[in-house]
Amino acid sequence: VGVGGARGIGGATVREATKLGGTVVIADVSDERGAEIANEIGATYHHLDIRNRAEWEDVLGKVVADKGGIDILHISAAVLTRPASVPVFDDPLPWLTEENWRRSCGINVDGVVFGTMAAIPHLEARGGGMILLGMSGAGYGGWALAPFYSMTKASVNSWMRATAELLAAKNIKVTTAAPGAPTDGG
């Protein structure tokens, strides 16, 4: 399951997984783009607002019912603090608002936590699997150009370390990937 697979790194990942022979399911809030990519690569698409635990349960339940199980969950969805239209080296202080904090935490942290929690029983039922979390170098130390993003990615790193230790006995590998910049400008 490629969460955030409608654009950027998530989009590149679902395309590559399909080329490698994987059965791919895309989940995203960008319905038009997600359905377009799913159609292009022969995947299935589901709407998913990762900030909502109940939607995680619903979507992963549908995937298991339709595909017979889940082996890998890749959570790539994430947001920076500033809009994509604002130059990255612009002053970040105007973007440090409560609204942007809630959005960053909801997508970058809640999405990872809720997705992991929802996937555990499905992966356990398969005898194990993998949860791959999108990471960034910004999470290994403060990044002044995007403090909220940096802090949320540090949380992802900490979550990965804790859950990797907890889930190893269930044969569920939890890890992160920090692949770099998005590949399609989205």
Report strand pairing: 2-3 vs 72-75: parallel
Burial of 145 (0-12, 13-18, 19+ CB in 10 A): middle
Q: What is the pLDDT of residue 82?
A: 83
pLDDT band at 181 (very low <50, low <70, confident <90, very high): low
Please tell me the predicted confidence (pLDDT) of residue 186: 43
pLDDT at position 90 = 87
pLDDT at 141: 85
Residues with catalytic function: 149
For 82-117, how does the pLDDT look when each residue is reduced to its tens digit (9 = 90+)? 887 888 788 999 999 999 999 999 999 999 999 999
Tokens 């890998």 belong to residue: 72
| Interval 32-82: pLDDT, tens | 999 999 999 999 999 999 999 999 999 999 999 999 999 999 999 899 888
pLDDT > 90? residue 4: no
In this predicted structure, what is the pLDDT of residue 184? 43
pTM to 2 decimal places: 0.92
Rounded to whole angstroms, how far apart are CA atoms 17 and 86? Answer: 32
C-alpha span between 42 and 26 (Å, rounded): 10
| Residue 175 structure tokens | 């890890």
Question: pLDDT tens, 119-165?
Answer: 999 999 999 999 999 999 889 888 888 999 999 999 999 999 999 99
Q: Per-residue confidence at 182, pLDDT binned at 50, 70, 90?
A: very low
| DSSP-H helix ranges across the chain | 8-19, 31-41, 53-67, 98-105, 111-125, 147-167
